[in-house]
Amino acid sequence: MSIDANDFYQALANESRLRCLVLLQRQGELCVCELTHALNLSQPMISRHLALLRESNLVLDQRFGQWIYYRINETLPDWVRSVLQTTAQANATKTPFAADLKALNKMPNRPSTGCCT
């Protein structure tokens, strides 16, 4: 999966999308309602930003029943993976990224995190 540097940074240049990517990088896989809750944004907002990330090949989606899970595209070039990983790691404790993870962990009725999934 190839990607243009300019397209890549265009996709990162929005706080909501950056927060989604950092959270996905840290959590591996999240559905839309989890991201919506974690970032405290409207569902259409999250959905549209995810669509843009999907269209630029940064994330992949997969449906499980009524939920659609997003994850970082594991076939991205090494340098892109590296940038995402470095960014997520260096900013994990900073605003707003730390709060996003906190909010995610406080989410009630989170799908797929029960004992039987």
Partner DNA sequence: AACATATATATGTTTTATCGTATATTTAAA
Partner DNA sequence: TTTAAATATACGATAAAACATATATATGTT
Closest approach, Cβ 1 to a second copy, in A, equals: 14
Asked whether position 62 contacts DNA by CB under 7 A, the answer is no
Q: Quick one: 9 exposed, middle or buried, by C-beta within 10 A (0-12, 13-18, 19+)?
A: exposed
- Binding track, positions 9-38, relative to a second copy; x by CB under 8 A: xx-xx-x--x---x----------------
| 105 near DNA, judged by CB under 7 A | no
Binding partner of residue 68 among a second copy, DNA, none, CB under 5 to 8 Å per kind? DNA
Instruction: Determine the 3-state secondary structure of 69 from DSSP.
Output: strand
Angle, helices 15-27 vs 78-91, to 10°: value is 90
Amino acid code (one letter) for 39 = L
Indicate the SS3 state at residue 60.
strand
Among 40, 43, 75, 82, binds a second copy (CB under 8 A): 82
Q: Are strands 67-72 and 30-31 parallel, antiparallel or unpaired?
A: antiparallel
Kindly state whether residue 83 participates in binding a second copy, applying the rule CB under 8 A.
yes
- Chain residues binding a second copy by CB under 8 A are 5-6, 9-10, 12-13, 15, 18, 22, 77-79, 82-83, 86-87, 89-91, 94, 97
